[in-house]
Amino acid sequence: MQRRTIAALSAIPPEGEPVEESLSYDGPGIADGDPVDPHDRPDGVADAHYVAGEDPVDPRQEVIGIPDASFGEEYGGLGRPEPEQGGGGGDGSGTGGGGERVARNTAIFSIATGVSRVVGLAREIVAASFFGTGGPASAFTIAFQIPNLVSNLFANAALSAAFVPVFTDLLQQGRRREAFRLASTLFWIILIVLGAIAALFILAAGLIMPLFTGPTFNAPLDAFTAGFSQILFPVVLLIGLTGLFGGILQSYEHFPIPAIAPAVWNLVIIVLLVVMRPHFHGGYENGNQVYAYAIAILVATFVQTLMVFGALRRIDFRLQMSIDWHDPRVKQVFTLMLPVTIGLGIVNLDQLINSVFGTLVNREAPRAIDNAFRIYMLPQGLFSVAVATVLFPTLSRMASRRDVRNMRRTIGIGMRQINLLLIPSAVFMLVLTTPIVRLVFERGRFDARSTDLVSEALFWFAISLPFGGLNLLLTRVFFSVQRPWIPTRLAALNIIVDIIVSIGLYKPLGIAGLIIGTVAANAVMTALQYHRLRIGFDGRLEGAQTTMITARILLASALLGGVSWVMWTILHRLFGASLPAQIISVGGAAAAGLVVYARAVLAMRIPEAHQVNRLIRTQLGRA
């Protein structure tokens, strides 16, 4: 009998590698549809130790749970999950309607997330006009990234990735009361543990924060960094609670409120920043006014938490005033959190590394890199996060059913859609880096020097864009087959590559050297993750088809880049450099490039492009 396991279709671990680290699936379900006796399932949970035709797997080798997307701006979809009927098409993976369903869901999510990203960029524009890329702004950047990293380590993505599959599994089995009891227990644990962590960091900020600043930061900047972080550290607790509430909604596929909440978060920050800033007077390079920004973020995060908590009424969730320490699923969640915490925490270290090493270049570098990163994240959030998030429930259900063929197909569709959307985005940013930065940021305290610094960082970030998108998807594939330790090891290697390249290049190349480290690390991560998945899928991951289509996408993107540059040059000479003129020049270049690119990919018969085209035509017809 042919033995098949999800993401390890007859896969044998490479020589010398322990069995528990092979990309085999030991989670709920069985291989290729063979039945499992329900009596073999302890406490109603699908047996994790039997694969059809194989000997029992040692429970110590098991990693339970199907992680899902992190909370915040990484939500999409609508409606409660139901068992799929029929073939793979219902999962968004088949040969016809499946791919179009992925495209449709991705478009729906992209719109919701796009609003959040655009408003978020507006927040950065307002902040940049007030604070530029000066020392206090860089101090704020580091002060914000530390609690953000702690949130990702202990609350945000890690908690969601560990909680959602366990909670969803209980719902799928009709054990709603137990699922809600688990959620209530985790609420009180989060409140106690993250509250204590936040309090510790607030009290010790004066000792902790100077460890992350370089010689270009003086005593006043170190004091600003500590002061900003003390205001921002309560965000760790709020994000933890929001992540739990969002995970509950995600399990029911109720995404509208979590998708809208980040936009509201950004709007609240903008309003409060504009209103409060004039009331903070004086200070080192006007640095005292940055406190208004920190306070605005804290208030906005509280508003976001209340929004998501209020949405739980739609599923009649009721918080229980008790902690069930004996619930084995609590241990299950925290056991799964460990590798996910390490993996996602390592990934989130990249941005902090750039900022910390940036203080070795000059005191403006951390803020300049962060500004460039915000532009970089606009297409990343619109497209790759959308594709990965829409595919998560589908991949998780396929993993639970051990639907190998459709899972392979879905991964291929996801990779090609990410390339279809991110490669042209990267090319556009490469050819028009400075005009984009000038249009977005150059006003107020953000001067021409700031534009030069941010443009330098954005140029290299653009090269990293497709690799970052693919990594987001491939990492979640490993999570969906319950092998989180594999991308965790690879992510550790990613950070090592980043640090080595950054240290070697920051002196001769400055900011560019730091971002080249990010590019190199992301490219290595993509190659290693894809190679490891191919091993798990018995060497079959639609690689030839993806390579062929990606080559066509590269050719079409080159056409986009050439047309965009020519169009911008013409319009810039005609209209000049005023703000309306910049909007016309960059907007016209983008429109011309998009038209050429769309015609090219359709003429090249790229299936994913035709799926998007049919979706757009259908929606326009309905309108």
Residue 552 has pLDDT above 80, yes or no: yes
Residue 559 has pLDDT above 90, yes or no: yes
Residue 601 has pLDDT above 80, yes or no: yes
What is the average pLDDT across 601-605?
90
Chain centroid to CA 27: 24
Give the per-residue pLDDT at 57. Answer: 32
| Residue 78 backbone phi and psi in degrees, to 5 | -160, 145
Give the per-residue pLDDT at 400. Answer: 66
pLDDT over 70 for what percent of the chain? 75
* Residues 397 and 5: beta-carbon distance below 8 Å: no
C-alpha distances (whole Å) from 513 to each of 93, 355, 501, 520, 528 are 40, 13, 7, 11, 23
SS3 570: helix
Rg (the chain; Cα; Å) = 24
Q: What is the rounded distance in angstroms from the CA atom of residue 608 to the CA atom of residue 561? A: 21
Angle at alpha carbon of residue 185, lines to 179 and 191, rounded to 5°: 135
Give the per-residue pLDDT at 346. Answer: 66
C-alpha distances (whole Å) from 413 to each of 162, 165, 196, 303 are 25, 23, 44, 37
* Residues 136 and 221: beta-carbon distance below 8 Å: yes
SS3 88: helix
Mind listing the pLDDT tens digit for each residue in 11-31?
Answer: 323 333 333 333 333 333 322
* Per-residue pLDDT band at 70 (split at 50, 70, 90): very low
Mind listing the pLDDT tens digit for each residue in 147-187?
Answer: 888 887 766 666 766 787 788 778 877 888 888 888 888 88
User: Is this prediction's pTM over 0.85?
Assistant: no
Give the per-residue pLDDT at 343. Answer: 62
Q: HEC states along 449-517?
A: HHHHHHHHHHHHHHHHHHHHHHHHHHHHHHHHCCCCHHHHHHHHHHHHHHHHHHHHHHHHHCHHHHHHH
Mind listing the pLDDT tens digit for each residue in 203-259?
Answer: 999 999 998 888 888 888 899 999 999 999 999 999 889 888 888 887 776 767 777
* Residues 613 and 601: beta-carbon distance below 8 Å: no
Which residues does 367 contact at the CB level (< 8 Å), separation at least 6?
A: 131, 132, 133, 134, 137, 138, 140, 141
pLDDT over 90 for what percent of the chain? 35
What is the average pLDDT across 81-95?
36
Q: What is the rounded distance in angstroms from the CA atom of residue 460 to the CA atom of residue 505? A: 13
Q: What is the rounded distance in angstroms from the CA atom of residue 9 to the CA atom of residue 22? A: 11
What is the average pLDDT across 264-287?
84
Give the per-residue pLDDT at 345. Answer: 66
445 exposure class (CB count in 10 Å sphere: 0-12, 13-18, 19+) = middle
Residue 540 has pLDDT above 70, yes or no: yes
Which residues does 468 contact at the CB level (< 8 Å), separation at least 6?
A: 380, 384, 522
C-alpha distances (whole Å) from 223 to each of 139, 197, 219, 366, 554 are 9, 21, 6, 16, 48
Q: Which of 2, 19, 95, 89 is nearest to 57 (CA)?
A: 19
Residue 593 has pLDDT above 50, yes or no: yes
Mind listing the pLDDT tens digit for each residue in 106-148?
Answer: 555 567 667 887 888 899 999 999 998 888 999 999 999 888 8
Give the per-residue pLDDT at 50. Answer: 27
Give the per-residue pLDDT at 344. Answer: 61
Mind listing the pLDDT tens digit for each residue in 407-458?
Answer: 788 888 888 888 999 999 999 999 999 999 999 999 888 999 999 999 999 9
* Residues 315 and 249: beta-carbon distance below 8 Å: yes
Chain centroid to CA 477: 14
SS3 78: strand
Residue 473 has pLDDT above 60, yes or no: yes
- At 99, the amino acid letter reads G
- At 176, the amino acid letter reads R
Residue 378 has pLDDT above 70, yes or no: yes
Cα atoms in the 13 Å half-sphere on the side-chain side of 537? 27
Give the per-residue pLDDT at 508. Answer: 92
Q: What is the rounded distance in angstroms from the CA atom of residue 566 to the CA atom of residue 560? A: 10
Mind listing the pLDDT tens digit for each residue in 351-371?
Answer: 888 888 988 898 899 999 999
Beta partners for residue 78, in sequence order? 254
Residue 498 has pLDDT above 70, yes or no: yes
Which residues does 528 contact at the CB level (< 8 Å), separation at least 6?
A: 490, 493
Chain centroid to CA 353: 18
* Residues 375 and 121: beta-carbon distance below 8 Å: yes
Q: What is the rounded distance in angstroms from the CA atom of residue 562 to the CA atom of residue 559? A: 5
* Per-residue pLDDT band at 45 (split at 50, 70, 90): very low
Residue 72 has pLDDT above 70, yes or no: no
* Per-residue pLDDT band at 71 (split at 50, 70, 90): very low
Give the per-residue pLDDT at 154. Answer: 67
Give 424 or 546, the one with higher predicted confidence.
Answer: 424
Angle at alpha carbon of residue 64, lines to 239 and 541, rounded to 5°: 95
